[in-house]
Copies of this chain bind each other. A is one copy, B any other.
Amino acid sequence: MQAPGRCCHWASLPGPSVREVASMYGTAVAVFLVILVAALQGSAPTESRLPYHIPLDPEGSLELSWNVSYAQEAIDFQLLVRRLEAGVLFGMSDRGKPENADLVVLWTDGDTAYFADAWSDQNGQIHLDPQQDYQLLQVQRTPEGLVLLFKRPFGTCDPKDYLIEDGTVHLVYGILEKPFQSLETINASGLRMGLQRVQLLKPDIPNPKLPSDTYTMEIHAPNIRIPSRETTYWCHVKELPKGFSRHHIIMYEPIVTEGNEALVHHMEVFQCPPEMDSVPYFSGPCDSETKPDNLNYCRRVLAAWALGAKAFYYPEEAGLAFGGPGSSRYLRLEVHYHNPLVKEGQHDSSGIRLYYTPTLRRFDAGIMELGLVYTPVMAIPPQETDFVLTGYCTDNCTQLALPPSGIHIFASQLHTHLAGRKVVTVLVRDGREWEIVNQDNHYSPHFQEIRMLKKIVSVHRGDVLITSCTYNTEDREQATVGGFGIMEEMCVNYVHYYPQTELELCKSAVDAGFLQEYFHLINRFNGGKEVCTCPQPSVPQQFASVPWNSFSRKVLQALYGFAPISMHCNKSWAIRFQGEWNLQPLPKVISSLGAPTPQCPPRRCPTPAGPTIISIVGDRG
């Protein structure tokens, strides 16, 4: 689809050395960046049909917009390339590495520009994918830059392709600075590559209307100067007006200072405990020595946002109560600035805007912790690639603590420390896995957001909730025990639900006595040498003395999968519900949900066996 008379190559190359070529080519591109408005196939979605946006790189020179069609099980992607050099790579990989990635590549050999579905092998070497599953819809030159529009199904049944699932997706991107004779001459490991985490499959639920008596409150940094270091957690105290009565938060949204979109990584608003009657004002880095100590106790989540998320709406029958008696007047805003280019002098007033109403909704929303108790008895051996720990909320606890009509979970925030790689919570009813509450197969501790569930999950009395976390400790020499420290681990799912109940925490850990049997056995296998010679060794000391071999690893795993548990079925302030919670048997699961089988299209003849040639024609920029 070449407009006659207006055609010029994207770049026309002279001859000599690669270096010269690259540099001249750069100039050529700058001068002749002339792009075709080419509706290649299918219909292009309009801007309004692409509701989600995220900057890919810290400079913001690559920007992704997308929509999700659950009917078609496909995503339309729009990639804006503000300053095109010799091409771009975009795609996905398990943990965001450029190797073993599923990619689309826009490149030129100097004469012709190409677009292709490709993949990188474990060495980063790029290969053409024999099955072309990214469908190019449009290439367009706009005043902002080059816009590529393409479509991809969630699953392609091509083993080289990434399966787009619920939860976190690690997007990878890269810049081609020079032409390549062919796709096979490109190695992603040697390029300027980066990653961006995002939830691609946003839930497709309509936002409830806000009532007319909705008020807003902004909690934001007071035009601070972002520190010139890679990572800053900024803490900012906000005081509610005196006599602020009980309200329901029914929605919140991010306020991101223009120009800082690529710097503001995530933000949370916490409420302090009600018994803290005064909190001094503070605005500064959370690790500052001048930060008031008691700010650390302000941990009740009111709002949480992360890059790529949009406004968070409570279901129309519920709201999060704040204000009034028994509710602290002090809030803490925490902003995570991610400044890998160490930009200086950047000012920021980002924060969160709460939408709240005095007309209380039918139900108070509540937050409940599922998963593992923070205790060292749950540990991960070192050098494991995918060790699973599991925490239980048992039928005894839900029977006792839930109202007769049950509760309804509408959102979930998964949480681990640095070794976490996957998290899933499954609802078990009558011994059968019933439905998944929330699952993230590409979980990252660096990307924790409150996610609306696609579908509200109702939990009945007597149901069981099983939360499993998968950890990677390949880079560690010692066992990683459960605990609060950053190098210790957690396995938690904070579920947001209504109506609020007294049950704040429904978690478990292996029985400590059975764990001692484990240490005894390892000790005997170890030729009678005590695993720890200390007179009263602590559990972390005992774990530190275990010789980690196939036997001690497998037996620990078998122990966690079999030994009785101690349940924490708790109200506020760690008060347990009345009942027998120690030496409880593991809940029995007699049938599993199994992995969803992707609907594969029937075998097709290879359509575009090669890359798509893009006729780079059009007006001069």
Interface residues of A (CB under 8 A from B): 130-131, 514, 517, 520-521, 524-525, 549-551, 554-555, 557-559, 561-563, 602-606
* Cα separation A525 to B603 with both chains bound (whole Å): 53
A561 contacts across to B, CB distance below 8 A: 550-551, 554
A520 to B520, CA, bound (A): 11
Kindly state the separation between the CA atoms of A605 and B602 in the bound complex, as whole angstroms.
10
Number of copies: 2
Which residues of chain B have C-beta atoms less than 8 A from A517's C-beta? 521, 524-525
User: Which residues of chain B have C-beta atoms less than 8 A from A549's C-beta?
Assistant: 562
A603 and B602 form a contact (CB under 8 A):
no
The 8 Å CB contact of A555, one of B130, B555, B602, is B555
State in angstroms the CA–CA spacing of A262 and B585 once bound together: 56
A598 to chain B, nearest CB (A): 13
Q: Which residue from chain B places its CB closest to the CB of A606 in the assembled complex?
A: B603
Candidates B550, B562, B603, B605; contact of A562 at CB < 8 Å: B550
Q: CA–CA, A522 to B83, complex, Å? A: 67
Closest 7 CB pairs of A and B: A551-B562, A554-B558, A605-B605, A521-B521, A551-B558, A550-B562, A517-B524
- Do the beta carbons of B524 and A551 come within 8 Å of each other? no
- What is the chain B residue whose CB lies nearest that of A554? B558
Q: Hey, which chain B residues are within 8 Å of A555, CB to CB? A: 554-555, 558
Bound: A36/B605 CA distance, A: 34
Closest residue of B by beta carbon distance from A560? B551
Structural contact, B558 and A550, CB atoms closer than 8 A: yes
> Which chain B residue shows the least CB distance to A586?
B550
Bound CA–CA A604/B525 (angstroms): 56
A525 to B511, CA, bound (A): 12
Chain B proximity of A517: nearest CB distance (Å): 5
**Bound: A131/B602 CA distance, A:** 11
- Shortest A369–chain B CB gap in Å is 27
- What's the Cα separation between A525 and B520 when bound, in Å? 12
Cα A606 to Cα B603 with chains together (Å): 7
Residues of chain B within 8 A (CB-CB) of A554 are 554-555, 557-558, 561-562
- Which chain B residues border A558 with CB–CB below 8 Å? 550-551, 554-555, 558
Chain B residues within 8 Å of A521, by CB: 517, 520-521
Query: Assuming the A-B contacts A521-B517, A603-B131, A603-B603, are A559 and B551 also in contact, with contact meaning beta carbons closer than 8 angstroms in the complex?
Result: yes
A521 to chain B, nearest CB (A): 5
CB distance from A393 to the nearest CB of B (A): 21
Q: What residues of chain B lie closer than 8 Å to A514, measured between beta carbons?
A: 525
Instruction: Give the distance in Å from the alpha carbon of A550 to the alpha carbon of B563 in the complex.
Output: 10
Q: What chain B residues lie within 8 Å of A524 (beta carbons)?
A: 517, 520
Instruction: Tell me the nearest residue of chain B to A524, going by C-beta.
Output: B517
List 19 A-B residue pairs with CB atoms under 8 Å apart, sorted by A's residue number.
A514-B525, A517-B525, A520-B521, A520-B524, A525-B563, A549-B562, A550-B561, A550-B562, A551-B563, A554-B555, A554-B561, A554-B562, A555-B555, A558-B558, A602-B606, A603-B603, A603-B604, A603-B606, A605-B605
| Further pairs besides A525-B563, A551-B562, A602-B606: 20, Cβ < 8 Å | A130-B602, A130-B603, A131-B603, A514-B525, A517-B525, A549-B562, A550-B562, A551-B559, A551-B561, A554-B554, A554-B555, A554-B558, A554-B561, A554-B562, A555-B558, A558-B558, A603-B603, A603-B605, A604-B605, A605-B605
